[in-house]
Structures are given as structure tokens and as C-alpha cells.
Amino acid sequence: NAGVTQTPKFQVLKTGQSMTLQCAQDMNHEYMSWYRQDPGMGLRLIHYSVGAGITDQGEVPNGYNVSRSTTEDFPLRLLSAAPSQTSVYFCASSRTGKSGNTIYFGEGSWLTVV
Amino acid sequence: QQPVQSPQAVILREGEDAVINCSSSKALYSVHWYRQKHGEAPVFLMILLKGGEQKGHDKISASFNEKKQQSSLYLTASQLSYSGTYFCGTEGGAGSYQLTFGKGTKLSVIP
């Protein structure tokens, strides 16, 4: 059971470039989300989805787009990368996202924007 | 509103106990606790729901006081494997779908 799989694990981008971080889960979870983690800041929610075709913004959505065409996949798109988007990105999923449901994290994607 | 964790860092010798606190300025429905080792993903420890419950497994337990909007994580007889950064994540309402994490508490256990 692979759980939550993120790719790529490491990426270096130039300012202004766009890219997509891929996230896939094989647990048939309804709820998926993207967090970014910066030193001393904890995890901050970027976007989340409660099911295929439904997405919503989290705490820090600017500069990012998401879509959820299938239950399994939840890609995160950086539209025009900026140095402030240098961070570690974690994709997560849970059965419903509601209280009492464990959130499972992917292994993370380390992104550097130069 | 981001929950406040204390202390920010703690160093323990093997076998010692520690308490990590998580406080929120708003009403809470649930508190999640995670541990993250350097370069790895956060790993789930436990969830506490509204109702003032206490949970535990092995030598790690937690309490949740909804009236005080606080949760505490208790680590007893610490082991080297307990080292890492501990995060609390809070949920303001059932079905809110948004977990807000604290900045973390770095725990180092030394021989």
C-alpha cells in the first residue's frame, strides 16, 4: 500500500517558471490537501479538496492553483515561481477530513526557487 | 489563528519526562498531535476530540481541555526515538476540513 505519493522529491526552479507538484493517494480518501512548511513556521494549509471536482483555499493560497479531477490525484501548480515559494511541500489525505480522521502525509517535495 | 506551542525546544536525558503544551485563542473541536523527524513527513500520534478526553499509547499520552482551549502531550520515560519536532494541529469546528498547526516543539533526547 503506497499511501500518499508525491513527485518530484527535489526541484530547483528559476524565478518565473511554472511547475506542477504531483500527489496521488491509493486509499480512496475523499479529503486531500497541500501544506507548505517553512523553518519555524509549522505547516500552513495552501489548498484543500473534499472530493473530486471540489477545491477550496487554505491559509496561504496565493501563487498556487489546484484541481481535483479524480479521487486519487491532487496536483499543485505554481503559476510563476517566486523565491518566497522556496519551501517543503506536503500533500496529505484523510478519509473525510472531519474530526476523528487521521491525516496521512506524503514524504514531501523540496522546492528551491532561484 | 495559529495555536501556540510551548516550550519551543526541550532537551531530555533518556528516561526523563516531558510535557508539550498547545494553546489556542479560539474554541476548539479537536486537537491532532504529530511528530516529525528531520527530513521526513509528519507522523500521526493521536487525535483528541471535544469532550475533554485523554488518550495514550505506550508512554505517550495527551489531554484536551476544551474549556481552556488547551491540549498537552505527555512523554514519559523518554527514549532516543522520541527525538523530533512535535506539532499540534487544531480544528475549530466539526467538518471544517482545515487543520491549523502550531510552530512545533523540538525535542532532543540524549543518552
Residue B91, CB-side half-sphere exposure with 13 Å CA sphere: 23
Locate the chain A residue with the closest alpha carbon to B99. A45
Decide if A99 and B30 are in contact by the 8 Å CB cutoff.
Answer: yes
Instruction: Tell me which of B43, B96, B99, B100 to substitute to probe the interface with A (most A C-beta atoms closer than 10 Å).
Output: B99
Nearest to A103 among B32, B95, B100 (CB): B32
What pLDDT is recorded for position A105? 94
Instruction: Tell me which of B64, B97, B103 to substitute to probe the interface with A (most A C-beta atoms closer than 10 Å).
Output: B97
Tallying the residues shown for chain A, one arrives at: 114
Q: Is the minimum CB–CB distance between A39 and chain B shorter than 8 Å?
A: no
Nearest to B104 among A42, A100, A101 (CB): A42
Does residue A106 surpass a pLDDT of 90?
yes
pLDDT in tens, A9-24: 999 999 999 999 999 9
- For residues A60 and A85, give the distance between their C-alpha atoms in angstroms, rounded to a whole number: 11
What pLDDT is recorded for position B96? 65
Mean pLDDT across B97-103: 85
For residue B42, list chain A residues with Cβ-Cβ distance below 8 A.
43, 90, 105
**Closest-CA distance of chain B to residue A53, Å:** 16
pLDDT in tens, B14-26: 999 999 999 998 8
Give the Å distances, CA to CA, from B17 to A26, B48, B61, B76, B79: 38, 21, 12, 4, 10
Decide if B49 and A100 are in contact by the 8 Å CB cutoff.
Answer: yes
Structure confidence at residue A8 as a pLDDT band (50, 70, 90)? very high
Count CB atoms within 10 A of the CB of residue A81: 22
Strand B105-110 and strand B9-13: pairing? Answer: parallel
Decide if A107 and B40 are in contact by the 8 Å CB cutoff.
Answer: yes
Using CB atoms within 10 A of its CB, is residue B9 exposed (0-12), middle (13-18) or buried (19+)? exposed
For residue B104, list chain A residues with Cβ-Cβ distance below 8 A.
40, 42
Decide if A100 and B50 are in contact by the 8 Å CB cutoff.
Answer: no
- For residues A91 and A68, give the distance between their C-alpha atoms in angstroms, rounded to a whole number: 13
